Every structure is written in structure tokens, then in C-alpha cells.
Structure 1
Amino acid sequence: MGKFNKLASALLTGAAVLTLAGTAPGAAWAAGKIVISNWDGYMPADMLERFTAETGIEAELAVHATNEEIMGKVVAGKGKGYDVLFVSSPFVEALKNLGLVAELDHAKIPNMKNLYPEAMKLEYDPGNTVSVPYAWGTTGLCYRADLVSGTPDSWMDLLKPADALKGKVTMLSTDRWLMAAAFLAEGKSVNSTDDADLAAAKDLLIAAKKDLLAYDDTTFYAKLVSGEASLVQAWDGWCNYGIAENADIKYVIPQEGSDLWVDTMVVTAASENKDAAMKFIDFILQADNGAWVPANILYKVPNKAAMEALDPALLTQFPNLAMSPEDLLKQEQLRDLGQGQKAFSKTVTEILASN
């Protein structure tokens, strides 16, 4: 869920590509600058400048809008031209299977000590052999407590809403999360590619369309703030953007559970500056750099030192920020669908195209 948000817009205005000259000891890195591809606004605007000032390593930022966009570029070019990629966990697995990411030398990333122990036990990359988690969270129900009767506690509250909520609910259209709502509601895995599971999810989601206000991946929290919507499917951090504007907005994980999404950092196998790339990841893992994420874009991070440095008032205002790593890992982790992706994508296309 690495996307730009208006809460950080004052800090995160900058060109899509930012090149920063090195300072001493820049001569130590004469092999050249590193190129980082990240979502817009997913790190401080001055991050690369501070990295260069501390290390002397030149850095350039290239922005990608989606995982699919950067995946396409990296696969087409065999990773050449990039050193560090920010991608979500299923794409780590896909890139690893294609031989496009490098194994990490943990001795060169000493700030990995700042991570929670649970952050080293993620199923898509046990032991963080090729990736380092940057941010993590859940997907659930975001709602106006003053407009909804009781507390919604099931995915069925979204998929089969009460009469008072019909036409006042939105769902995410991004394929993994659209399908996850139906899978979880029916007690299935969020990573299922079973034909029967896909068919059942398709039927449920097509039937649910008649009661939707909209599919909305970017402005759903604004719809809650305005009162146009009363209940939406939301990533936890994005629900927080609504909470920041209206204290009646709440977030809940349904009783059937959620997915655990993780955004990560990887070093490309094609990188000619792997030591410098790992030095950048180590810089990101400094406690103050990690704390910028929850403090400014309201996402949890797997950086224990960073989370412990937060103002307690932030956790009070945004309770889902205080969710423990132990509880996060109780949710099902999103995985690469492999050969099952084709049937999965076909099902989503049919759902979105249905009347």
C-alpha cells in the first residue's frame, strides 16, 4: 500500500526522479550511484539527500505507481538499471523465482537488529534472505460509527449489507483484496486458486455489486468523511487518513480475519553496487527513519526501535497502529499465486465486467 497520501503532501512534493550529488567520502563509491524505485511519497522527500550526506553514496529515485509496473520493467530489463526496489511480498517471491533479486548479506545491514523478531519469520522469505520488510498491515472494515448501527464484525456486513447500508458501501477493486473479502467470508485462503473457490467467490462478489456505492481504491476514506459512504473495505493505514479528519471513523478486522500485507525492500541481482544498495537499506532501518512512516503516513512498520520511538498519543488516536506483531502474524500472509495467477486474474476481470 505504498501510495501517496495527502497527509504528507507538504513534505513530499518533488519530481518523479531526484538525483543527488555525493559528498565526501564519495570517492569510495566511484562505481556509480544507486537507483531506487519506490512508490511516490513512501519515504521522506529529503531521504536520499541525507543518505548521501551520511555515506557519500549518490542516489537516484525512480517512482513506480504499482507493483505490476515495476515488475514489468524489471522482468523486461532483467533488473538492469535498478539497485533497490520497494515491492509487496508476493512480488518478492516472483522476483526470487525468476532469479532477479540478490541474497542479502546481513553483516552489511546491521540495523536489521531493529526489526521485531516476528519480522524475520515471514513465510514468503523466512529469515529475510532476499528482502527486508519496510511496512506492514491489514485490510479490514473502516466505518462511520455515528452512521452504522453497532460494530460491523464480518466481511458479510460488507458483502451482504443491512438495508440501511445498501448504496453506502465501497470495496477495493485491486484483485488480491477484492477476492480476499469473499475468500475470508467463506473461510477460504486469501491465496486460493482452487477452481471451486474462485467460482464461489465470483458468485458472491457479483451478487454484492448491486449494493455497492462504488469500487474505490483511492478516495474511500474521503467518502466516509463526507458521509457519502458509511462502510468501506480499507487498508488500515488508509482508514487512518479518515480517522485523522473525523474521530467517528473506526477500523476493525472482521471476525473471519484479514490478510497481512508487507511492503519490502530488495536488491536486484543485476545491481553493480550491491554493497551500496545494502547500505541504503541499513540507513532506512535506522530508528528515526523508520519512525517517519507511522508518524507521517500512518502505516505500521516492522521496525521495533522505530515503533517504540513514537509519541504514545499517536497510538491513542490511531489504535490500529498499536496492533502487535504477534497479532499481525495471526493474519494470513499474501503469497505469490504462481501458475494460478492466470485463472485468478480471469475471475477478477469477469467480476468487474459483470452487470
Structure 2
Amino acid sequence: MRTVRSSQRFELSRRELFRWGGVGLGALGIASLSACAGSDSPRPLVWGNWTVTMDYDETTGSYPTLDQFTQESGIPVDYLEDIDSSATFYAKIREQLEQDQFPGYDLFNFADDYTGRLIEAGQVQEFDHSRIPNLANLSDLMKNPSFDPGRKFSIPWQGGLTGLCYNVDLYPKGVQSLSDLGAPELHGRVGILTEMIDTIGLTLLEQGVDVSSGWGDAEFERALAEIQERLQRGQYAQATGNSYTQDLETERIWAAMCWSGDVQVLNEEAGREQFKFVIPEPGGLKYVNSIQVPNGSDRMSDVERLIDFYYQPEVMAQVVAYTATVPPIDGVQEALARIDPALAKSPLLFPSDTDAQRIFDFRQLTPAETKSYVDAFVGMLNG
């Protein structure tokens, strides 16, 4: 398993000390950071993202497409895999966001519920689409979410499927539904996700609820109660963010709620299909992580240039060849076929029409619902 490039795992440089100064040093803002970097060269763009969401060279320990972008643009990027869950990452930068201060990142990637939350709160900047000509490649599937019609404040980075997975060696019987996760032989061996939409969404589907519309507090509370009951009696071992992949590798858990791209990467690292991803019988969920720029950053034009670079199908194909996630733009499947023909045919990236009918969008929540449901979910996990 490769080393994660995280701000929390490195000795802090002088620039990073400013980044992580919180309310104190962080309040000095971006001007101080620029001065720290010197006047002849721009300070790096600081990008906070999830693990395994960027192409990575195991030999050199670098990100090839980011290196290519820097070579072509002259803009260095400090890429940090700092997001393990939306809730914990948001808690870390919340105070700076609320005060329109630089939160230590020029851009970051949240899941849809937090993406909408930041837009509603007015804490992120509007993109100038005229400076992102390759935005014309944006897939229709991701163009007009209800929380950001026209993608004025969020640009999709990548997407995927939320479903179930299991270790085929340790549990060859397999799982096809959340009911299967309740098997006695899996007691204490099941992982769930700290993303409210994913864990609640899969549970709602198992309970026969149409997650796309027509449900409310009663259905949420029933799903929450089921999750809490399984956690309390130890059937579910724990809730984690991206770190569930490590628990699968170390065999701490044998089955889990999971993200499709992670399973593809785990199997590539294992050199075989050690983990099986399945869309649950009642259905799975679609997720999208999107790029946003906080009000406290003055690097919007550089971020727009970065997005335009990655919205070239040939470049995004290089990313997808490593991350095995659903690309946000058209033309990637054809470009990917020239790099990895087998992956270009993967149903996890390009679902069949039959599978597509079993993949659902989690309905857009109101701001009040988002706060209420996230708070209740996180409170239950922490309780």
C-alpha cells in the first residue's frame, strides 16, 4: 500500500506552519502565504482531496499528470490526501470558511451533501466558465445537480458507485444485500462508511425506500435506528472514511459498504480479484466529488486553469487508469481504451444499461435537512 501524501504525516515546513495555524496563524491569510513563498515564483496551489483519487507513480512517488500540469503552466501544486470523510474535513476548516479566511486550501473536493451545504452558506466562489473551455466536455450525467444548476460553484472531479464488497478468500459465500451483512459469521467483521448519504442511502434502499424522492424524517429515523442497533451489538465493527480499504487489506473486516473505485484499486494492488464489488439487490448509489474554491483563496484563475487541463479526455484518462473511478467528462472511455483496454470495458466505470437502472441518486436535501440528518448521523456514530 503506497504512502499517503497528507499534511498530517509530514514535518511542517514554514509554509505549512502558516497553513495549519488555524485561527491564529491561519488568520494571517493568503497574503502572508504568498510572501512566504517569495515574489518571483507563485506559492503552490494547495489541493485537499481524498486518497486514491489522482494518478500516482509508485516508483517516483509523484503524481504524473500534476507534474505535467506544472511543466505546462508553471503553477506548482501541493496535493494533499487530507480527506478521509467530509464531516471530519469540514470540521477542520469550518471556522475559516465561516469567516471567509484562507482555510489552508485553494481547492478541495467534497461529496454532494457538503458541496451543496457550502454553496447554500455562500462560502465558495463562482467559477468563470469562459476561462474553462474544456468544460464543454462535461458529462450530461453531472451537469445540473439540484444544489448547483449549471455548475456555477462546483466542478465535478470524479464519481463512482456506492455498494458492497467482500473478501472472496475469507468469505467466499459473498454478500448481495445489507441483510447478508447481518450474517452471524460476519459479526464484528463489517465496515460501514462515515458518509451519511452512503450509509443511510444503502440502508433506506434495503428498507424499500425510493431514495430519489418521497421520503423524510420518519424514514431517516428508521434507517438510523437500524444502523445504530447493528453498531451497538457489534455486527458492524466501525464506521470509517477512506481508511476502510486498509481494514480490508489487514483483514480486520471481511465485508463493507464501499466505493467502486477503491475496490478496483485494491484488486490491482493484489494482482487479482481479492475483493468483489456488488450492487446490492435493492440497488446502489451514485456519488460525485466536486472541486470548490473557498472565499479565502485568491487563486481562482489558477484553479480554473487546472480544471481546464484535467478536462481534456486524454489527461483525465490517465487519472482514471489509476483511480478506476467514473470520469466527469465525455471522451474518456475512448482515450482510456488506448491505455488500458480492459478497464475501458469495466462496468464499474461504465455501467451497463441494466446496472444503470439499479443505481440511484440520493435526493437533494434542504439545508435544514442536511444539518439535521448529518448532525444526527455523526452524533450516533460518536455516541
* Fold match (TM-score > 0.5): yes
- Residue 207 of structure 2 corresponds to residue 186 of structure 1: yes
> Letter of the aligned partner of 2:275 in structure 1?
I
Shift of 1:87: 2.5
- Residue 288 of structure 2 corresponds to residue 262 of structure 1: yes
> Letter of the aligned partner of 2:206 in structure 1?
A
> Letter of the aligned partner of 1:275 in structure 2?
S
Match among 41, 45, 54 for residue 43 of structure 1: 54
> Letter of the aligned partner of 1:204 in structure 2?
E
| Cα distance in 2, alignment partners of residues 191 and 36 from structure 1 | 37
| 1:140-179 equivalent positions in 2, closer than 5 A | 140-145=163-168, 148=171, 152-158=175-181, 161-179=182-200
| 1:49-198 equivalent positions in 2, closer than 5 A | 49-57=67-75, 59-61=77-79, 64-65=82-83, 66-67=85-86, 68-69=90-91, 71-72=93-94, 74-80=96-102, 83-145=106-168, 148=171, 152-158=175-181, 161-188=182-209, 189=211, 194-198=216-220
Cα deviation 1:31-88 (Å, max 9, x = unaligned)? 9657333226543535554333322445555664353146515523415475433322
TM-score, normalised by the number of residues in structure 2: 0.72
Q: What's the counterpart of residue 314 of structure 2?
A: 288
**Percent identity at matched positions?**
23
Instruction: Say which is worse superposed, 135-144 or 94-103, in terms of deviation.
Output: 94-103
| Cα distance in 2, alignment partners of residues 274 and 51 from structure 1 | 16
Check 1:53–1:341 CA distance in 2 against 1; reply closer, same or farther (3 A cut): same
Name stretches of at least 5 consecutive residues in structure 2 with no aligned partner. Answer: 16-38, 56-62
User: Contact 1:17 / 1:61 at 8 angstroms: preserved in 2?
Assistant: no
Shift of 1:207: 2.6
- Residue 380 of structure 2 corresponds to residue 351 of structure 1: yes
User: Contact 2:176 / 2:278 at 8 angstroms: preserved in 1?
Assistant: yes
Q: What's the counterpart of residue 3 of structure 1?
A: none
Check 1:266–1:16 CA distance in 2 against 1; reply closer, same or farther (3 A cut): farther
| Cα distance in 1, alignment partners of residues 299 and 254 from structure 2 | 49
Cα deviation 1:290-331 (Å, max 9, x = unaligned)? 123322233222222333222122356x64133269928942
| Cα distance in 1, alignment partners of residues 229 and 75 from structure 2 | 54
1:72 aligned counterpart, secondary structure: helix
- Residue 328 of structure 2 corresponds to residue 305 of structure 1: no
Q: What's the counterpart of residue 22 of structure 1?
A: none
Q: What's the counterpart of residue 255 of structure 2?
A: 231
Q: What's the counterpart of residue 29 of structure 2?
A: none
> Letter of the aligned partner of 2:334 in structure 1?
E
Name stretches of at least 5 consecutive residues in structure 1 with no aligned partner. Answer: 1-5, 20-28
TM-score, normalised by the number of residues in structure 1: 0.76
| Cα distance in 2, alignment partners of residues 211 and 266 from structure 1 | 37
Shift of 1:129: 2.2
| Cα distance in 1, alignment partners of residues 220 and 342 from structure 2 | 43
Cα deviation 1:117-165 (Å, max 9, x = unaligned)? 222233332322222111101211102345556653322222xx23343
Q: What's the counterpart of residue 277 of structure 1?
A: 303
- The count of aligned residue pairs is 336
- The CA RMSD over aligned residues, in Å, is 3.9
Shift of 1:200: 1.2
1:322 aligned counterpart, secondary structure: coil
Check 1:8–1:108 CA distance in 2 against 1; reply closer, same or farther (3 A cut): farther
Shift of 1:229: 3.8
| Cα distance in 2, alignment partners of residues 118 and 127 from structure 1 | 12
Instruction: Say which is worse superposed, 331-340 or 188-197, in terms of deviation.
Output: 188-197
| Cα distance in 2, alignment partners of residues 63 and 169 from structure 1 | 25
User: Contact 1:184 / 1:190 at 8 angstroms: preserved in 2?
Assistant: no
Check 1:226–1:36 CA distance in 2 against 1; reply closer, same or farther (3 A cut): closer
Q: What's the counterpart of residue 338 of structure 1?
A: 367
Shift of 1:251: 0.7
Check 1:242–1:16 CA distance in 2 against 1; reply closer, same or farther (3 A cut): farther
Q: What's the counterpart of residue 321 of structure 1?
A: 349
Cα deviation 1:172-227 (Å, max 9, x = unaligned)? 24433332232222233389983322331232123323252511534544554565
Q: What's the counterpart of residue 25 of structure 1?
A: none
Shift of 1:113: 2.9
